[in-house]
Amino acid sequence: MRILLFTGKGGVGKTTAAAATATLAARRGLKTLVVSTDTAHSLADALAVPPSGEPVEAAPGLYLQQVDTQRSLERHWGELQDYARSAFHELGLDEITSEEVTVLPGAEEIIALLELREQARTGRWDVIVVDCAPTAETLRLLALPEALDWHVSRLLPIGRRLLKALGPLVRHVAKVSAPEESVLSAGERLHRGLLAVRELLTGDNASVRLVLTPEAVVVAEARRTLTSLSLYGYRVDAVIANRVFPAGGADEWRARWVEAQTRQLADVHASFAPLPILTVPYLPAEPVGVDALAEVGDALYGEHDPFAAPTGEPPMRISADELTLWLPLADKSDVDLARKGDELIVTAGSYRRVIALPAALARRTVASAALQDGHLRVTFEI
């Protein structure tokens, strides 16, 4: 099973690229599920089908699942709600309703990712395409389980685990005393679930496609996104430049855009090489419906096989005395390394990853660390 994630700045065409890729997969006879971690019904709108909480067939072999946060929360996380309720109660707040739980930041995406894992486990799909939330949220979310694992297993007493684990959900109630036993187990289940999601999304069959439009502000953000995705162990296998103005026969206004975009595209090629840069023209109409999306898919991939297994090294490699982490486009002055017991804490700009060292390296002292050609290389004393 192949998992393809689409992310990028708001409005650049993530949903369109995800839906186009999924449409292409289904047309090639692959059993395809396309899911959104976003509660807006854009994916259903793009495919021109009514939204549904269960996978519905939008075209032959193409299933769409728009996670119904409310329903899946009720189905899976009753205990969690109990916990949130009692926590709120302790704070002297009114009973929290399940509707309110889902309003807390991050809850929706978390639930969508847990549902995604359930779908992956059914073995029913050849391809799962995920339309992710815009850049920052997706990143924070994807980094969450690992960071939590660190807090959970090493820093915090058991009762506070859950509060940390559910940071986005219960940040408001962080002062509350330890939750009840039954709730803790629900929290631990959630935590394990999140770790499994991360494993799935950083695994050998998963990759991220970074969507951008050739505009300076968007490209700058995409560069940071590539660094942080790699920092967190996600494999990026292509950059998609969307809404590229066609050159030729242009009036003054479009000619200026073509010129500006050409400069940006050159920068994109220089920045993101050796990743393939796939382009989609600015179409004369919104690509809505499977036929229009299939055309976008064809323009997007051309001869490129969108469903081939990702090639190249994973972002992090660990050998007997060395750890290497690919940090593409990271600036030396932005990268920082700290050692804390069994962990290595790597900071790149405003993102931080806590890496639990394998037993063989955990007992050894760091001998050297250097950032060279986008690779952070940390060596350990023998």
Ligand X SMILES: Nc1ncnc2c1ncn2[C@@H]1O[C@H](COP(=O)(O)OP(=O)(O)OP(=O)(O)O)[C@@H](O)[C@H]1O
Which residues make up the interface to ligand X (CB under 6 A)? 10-16, 38, 42, 134, 242-243, 280, 282-283, 286-287
User: Measured between alpha carbons, how far is residue 290 from residues 29, 48, 293 in Å?
Assistant: 15, 8, 5
Q: Could you tell me which residues come within 8 angstroms of residue 352 by beta carbon, excluding any fewer than 6 positions away? A: 147, 345, 346
Enter the tokens of residue 30: 């692959």
Amino acid at 87: A
Q: Which residue is nearest to Mg ion (CB)?
A: 15
* Window of 6-14, 96-104, 161-169, 248-256 that interacts with Mg ion by CB under 5 A: 6-14
Of 65 and 81, the one with the shorter C-beta distance to Mg ion is 65
Q: Could you tell me which residues come within 8 angstroms of residue 340 by beta carbon, excluding any fewer than 6 positions away? A: none
- In angstroms, give the least distance from the CB of 210 to ligand X: 11
Of 7 and 261, the one with the shorter C-beta distance to Mg ion is 7
Q: Residue 335 in contact with residue 348, Cβ under 8 Å?
A: yes
124 binds, among Mg ion, ligand X, none (CB under 5 to 8 A by kind): none
- If one asks whether residue 42 binds Mg ion (CB under 5 A), the answer comes out as yes
Q: Residue 19 in contact with residue 222, Cβ under 8 Å?
A: no
Amino acid at 74: E
- In angstroms, give the least distance from the CB of 229 to Mg ion: 18
134 binds, among Mg ion, ligand X, none (CB under 5 to 8 A by kind): ligand X
51 binds, among ligand X, Mg ion, none (CB under 5 to 8 A by kind): none
Of 68 and 131, the one with the shorter C-beta distance to ligand X is 131
- In angstroms, give the least distance from the CB of 281 to ligand X: 6
Q: Which of 15, 21, 37, 119 binds Mg ion (CB under 5 A)?
A: 15
- If one asks whether residue 66 binds Mg ion (CB under 5 A), the answer comes out as no
Tally helices (H) and strands (E) across the chain: 14, 15
Enter the tokens of residue 131: 């339309």
Q: Could you tell me which residues come within 8 angstroms of residue 366 by beta carbon, excluding any fewer than 6 positions away? A: 337, 339, 344, 378, 379, 380, 381
Of 42 and 228, the one with the shorter C-beta distance to Mg ion is 42
243 binds, among Mg ion, ligand X, none (CB under 5 to 8 A by kind): ligand X
Contact positions vs Mg ion (CB under 5 A): 14-15, 42
